[in-house]
Amino acid sequence: MTDPVAMTEIRRGPFVESRHLGHAVICDGDGQIVRAWGDAQALIYPRSSCKMIQALPLVSSGAADRFGLGGEHLALACASHNGAAIHTDRVRAWLDRLGLDDAALRCGPQMPDDTTERNRLIRARETPCQYHNNCSGKHCGFLTLARHMGAGPEYVEIDHPVQQAALAAFEETTGLASPGYGIDGCSAPNFATTLHGLARAMAWFAGADARGDRQSAGAARLVRAMMEHPALVAGEGRACTALMRAARGRAAVKTGAEGVFVAILPQRRLGVAVKIADGATRGAECAIAALLVALGVFEAGDPAVRAYMNAPILNRRGLEVGAIRAAPGLSGPV
């Protein structure tokens, strides 16, 4: 076992004040490690970074086509969204399409991160609904698949056909049998794998459009949907949305809770997985930005990158007093 290595540094003045340690893997289309930092075999929960895997049965089963789902629906199925109107309006319309309402969801209510919608709820003295949950698009995908399968309403149960289909897709794309699962914040099972397995899955998605099988065709549709609708995958002020907008079709990226971040690079047939050991989002955002620069997706000076890598730290007077930077060992061409 290899210890985590420095991935992100927080500098104040001339000194490093804090470091985020972690692991990262870049994998090619053959499942081989191109480069790794820390422990490539570290066992992790991918959390929301693997939503495109969980959405794969929705497309490959024919359920998406049967219910007339388009790219916006597929982007939402992969989303950890802010709960803004552009998200919730579409989720509610999707539920209507299925003849269902908020009560059919099993993700639980969540106060939206979107400021406008959160303030509206507070002013109206309303409580958030389940469709505000950042995972509500994924759950609409689960409901659609359950309807297609003729399965019951408790679609988050581990023995439900929807979750067994998600597990099969997870193990196929990672190339590994999952040793177990935990329950995610949205109540769905989250299957564990190694960092290498997660990067291998992202590389499998990256090469999907070069293969002709049904599963790969579904994967290619999901990747396109994410890149074509980045605002639906996350929202304004979020790294996933900002980086995909700036990448202009060169990368699909997705965050997960507890410091996980992945990237899919279709043009290079590469997959990237990052896990920050202390679970810090800022560490994961900086690390994935640095790796995308190293892989030639961005220039280091790109404004979208500088928001997360080499981002200035300002004090309350607006003075620049430090910066968030990638650790020296994370940079350099790959």
Radius of gyration of the chain (CA): 19
Q: Closest Cα to residue 220, out of 87, 55, 69?
A: 55
- Spatial CB neighbours of 295, under 8 Å, sequence gap ≥ 6: 26, 265, 268, 270, 272, 334
Nearest-10 crossing angle of helices 239-247, 281-294: 10
**How would CATH label the architecture of 5-330?**
3-Layer(aba) Sandwich (3.40)
Query: Phi and psi for 109 in degrees, rounded to 5?
Result: -75, 155
Q: What is the CA 18 to chain-centroid distance, rounded?
A: 26
Q: Going residue by residue through the chain (334 aa), what tens digit of pLDDT does each one get?
A: 689 999 999 999 999 999 999 999 999 999 999 999 999 999 999 999 999 999 999 999 999 999 999 999 999 999 999 999 999 999 999 999 999 999 999 999 999 999 999 999 999 999 999 999 999 999 999 999 999 999 999 999 999 999 999 999 999 999 999 999 999 999 999 999 999 999 999 999 999 999 999 999 999 999 999 999 999 999 999 999 999 999 999 999 999 999 999 999 999 999 999 999 999 999 999 999 999 999 999 998 999 999 999 899 999 999 999 999 999 988 777 7
Q: What is the pTM of this model?
A: 0.96
Q: Rounded to an integer, what distance in angstroms lies between the CA atom of residue 311 and that of residue 58?
A: 38
Contact between 102 and 130 under an 8 Å Cβ cutoff? The reply is: yes
